[in-house]
Amino acid sequence: MSNLLSTNIAQLQLKTPTALASGILGYTAESLQLAAKGGAGTVVTKSVGVNPRPGYPNPTVVQAKNALINAVGLPNPGINQYTEEITYSKTLLKVPLIVSVFGYTAEEYALVSQKAADAGADAVELNVSCPHVKYTGSEIGQNPKLLTEVICKVKAATQKPVIVKLSPNVTDITELAKAAEKAGADALTVVNTVRAVVIDIETQTPILSNVRGGMSGPAVKPIALRCVYDVFEAVKLPIFGCGGITNWKDAVEFFLAGASAVQVGTAVASEEPSVFQAINRGVTSYLKRKGYRSVKEIVGLCHQA
């Protein structure tokens, strides 16, 4: 299975093309290891910033039809405390560790990235697309100038690969992808959650305490797939496809659209970490049935049609 599924992205060697998406299994080494043992080829932590942050009060997560809508508010212990967990995680994990970072300025992104790398992170993923926290995330990810500034600062602060997680909540995602490529990003994650609202008709008020949240799960898959398709045609950077992937057929669609690997999030919460093994087995069977020797052979294949 490993020969068929092994791939590389952003200088990271992955035994399988599936990854734990940021925001699902917490911050601990043990929770990340669950995903790795479940078959993930790499794991991405929840986002961490310069200072500790409590996040939003409940309710922070709502179940919708074929989707979850969340606005947890980037709760995290702060990078100074989290460096200990990064170092410990590296003693347990047999797969690359990617640390998701956020900040309110380019300097904060650079500082957190540098500390994460120094603690042992194999790469950093810049969360420039969180749809529910003001003055960070999407405000940066929607502005090519700000995005360029952040990436340049981070690249100057660390030698580790820099992955940029793009937002679907933009008019033209390819403009942001091009800006990221020009600024020196090593790879892209396409995409973060879709901005959404859900309302309680009895109380006649929004359910989430933050009102607006980010939608994930099967309902967003066609949107994410379109974004991967468009970005693949616009830039040469490798892509982590992300958004609504729950089974091997979803993963194959993302590979054909142009993703070199896929990140799985909401499905892990509903189907346990074994979802990675199920996806890996299905992709392996598909590759053998079609006569391919590597998953790399089908990346972007539908663009040749």
Q: What is the enclosing helix (H) or strand (E) of 240?
A: strand 239-242
**DSSP per-residue string spanning 153-214:** HHHHH-SS-EEEEE-SSSS-HHHHHHHHHHHT-SEEEE--PEEEE-EETTTTEESSTTSEEE
**DSSP per-residue string spanning 25-77:** S-S-HHHHHHHHHTT-SEEEPPPB-SS-B--PPSP-EEEETTEEEE-----B-
Is 78:52 a contact under the CB 8 Å cutoff? yes
Handedness of CA 213, 217, 220, 225 (dihedral sign): positive
Alpha-carbon span 279 to 251, nearest angstrom: 7
- Looking at the annotation, which residues are catalytic? 130
